[in-house]
Structure 1
Amino acid sequence: MERVRAGSLAVAVLGAALAVLPAAPAGAAAPPVAKPETLWLDTSAGGTATAPVPAVRTARTWATGEYAVVVVRGTYSKWGADFWRHGTVCGHPDRSAQAPSSPSVRQAYAGSDAEWTFGVPYACPQFPVALPAREGLQVDAGAGFQHPALLTAVGSRPSPDHAYRYALAGSGHRLALRIQDSIPGDNYGLLQVFVRSAVAADCASTGWQAFRSFASATACRAALPAVRAAAAPGASILVDAFPRRTTRGSAVVLRARARATAGAVTSARLELWTRTTGSWHRLRTLRPDQTGSVSVRLVPAVTASYQWRVAGTRTTSPVRVLTVR
């Protein structure tokens, strides 16, 4: 549970408080590309602010001179389910965590991700900061827990898919991750953590600055392998119901589910797109239920192609054609 007090969600200014990371040696060969790891961060398992502990660690030790990109995806709650049940809400929480905790844990809405809190179980005047407010993912790469640097700017609102990329420099330790919370025991929701080697393309724009080790983008690109970045596992869309034929004037029901490695994806938006001739256009945007499922009832007049898409991502279903006779 998060205590409601001014500044509880403010991001600490890292600046001089951060340990200075070692600079990349001039002319050094690019480090080897590590095998990616996918981990699950239990948001209730990171200890307290005064006694932080890792909620999850990488199996691999990241040596000095090696650089990692950590992709964290998902939503969770910093308040137990009972806090949400009294009906007072500020912001726009999702109906459940993207990847729920164990079924034995009582769960309700989810109002936080790795970077933002966007919904709380309080009236807005009672909450000390405006929403959305910056959030509390912490990583220990060897110098203690601190909020990692984002590889790309996130703007002023949560990412549509609640996924964020962070840049880290190795220092001879395994990477440890946790969620900062004053009373974490009643938190619920799992965050997917994907750890891969940084590559030269990660130096683009201001990405080189996020590693805090390079004097320029050119130096960053020279130090990192010029290979394609490993892709983080994302959601998939299962089409549960799609009739191939119907008659003009008859109603049909289309059903689909969004799934991820840990189970149903509930806080993503599923879009139904259609095309008869020419360009695709969006027909509906739907919010999944707690099983990740959506359904839509249509009365099609002409034969058309249909495709489900996860909003804000490249995840799509196969294209299906519904023939109208």
Structure 2
Amino acid sequence: MTGGGGGSRAAVGGLAHHIPVLGRRVAEYLNIRHDGLYVDATFGAGGYSRAILSAGARVVGIDRDQTAIAMGADLVEAAQGRLILTEDRFSNLEAACRELDIDGVDGVVFDLGVSSMQLDRAERGFSFRHDGPLDMRMGADGPSAADLVAAASERDLSAIIATLGEERHARAVARAIVRARAQQPITTTKQLADIVSSVVRAKPNEIHPATRTFQALRVFVNDELGELVTALAASERLLSPGGRLVVVSFHSLEDRIVKTFLADRSKTPAGSRHMPEREAPVPTFTVLTKKPVAADEAEIAENPRARSAKLRAAARTDAKPRTAMPERLLPNLPTLDQVMRGR
């Protein structure tokens, strides 16, 4: 989760080490029922899970980060059988629940992006604020960010940084990376941050010059957008009628995917001569947030990371889940495997 700070007493599990972003609004939109069953698909430090447990419900918590699962052990014990943690990608949430003989749930919540816990640990390589190995993997498998910047072509690096980081100087950054790696391997966060800073000039009161590049590499290394698309479809299949889907995003591309998915699933496509209206799919979701919910000034003052957060929510109808996904949900980029093979 991307919350930070805190120190408030949690109702379940003792001292909470962070404040979950938009926590109160998430709980409201989940419409937590006593004895209900919910999936916290991005468990992180357990902020949302604590709120759900405090309302008397049960939780399946999922996280691909071994550290998050290990740190949740005390909360599992305190929950006395109402919390199950599983180490997995959130895109596998349906399969994870089926393995637990769970066929339907009352709510699924996602808090997308990198967590405070990951950002604050230099050895994870997510942040340029602390020098550490250039890793950025949320799990323990697959190529790291260092592997990516070592293998990717200048063209692919530019496309990744421009698309996923929305960096206007992506070509210059990619060129600088290729030039620098020819001299020595780029293996630390400080090395990469210095390279980016050499071509992207910061203005007063603006974000660090390397912010967008680090974001792009992290999203690409972890296939965060592809994971999200798969997870949304899995949630549609797993949610019981009336169940709630709540997504908190921090990236414009993530929010766009959620918005497009919910818009598609909440309307009835017009009939045509190829598909008469009576055969058109019926809505599988009712959108609860006409506009994304944002943090108020008080929350932003307490937790600046909430500034870019957007919450979207929807309720599951009793219609059968659809199989086809909306077109153009994902940006046109090569896969990580393709980039590492030099395609």
TM-score normalised by L of structure 2: 0.27
Return the structure number with greater strand share. Answer: 1
Higher Rg of the two aligned structures: 1
Higher relative contact order by CA 8 Å / sep ≥ 6: 1 or 2?
Answer: 1
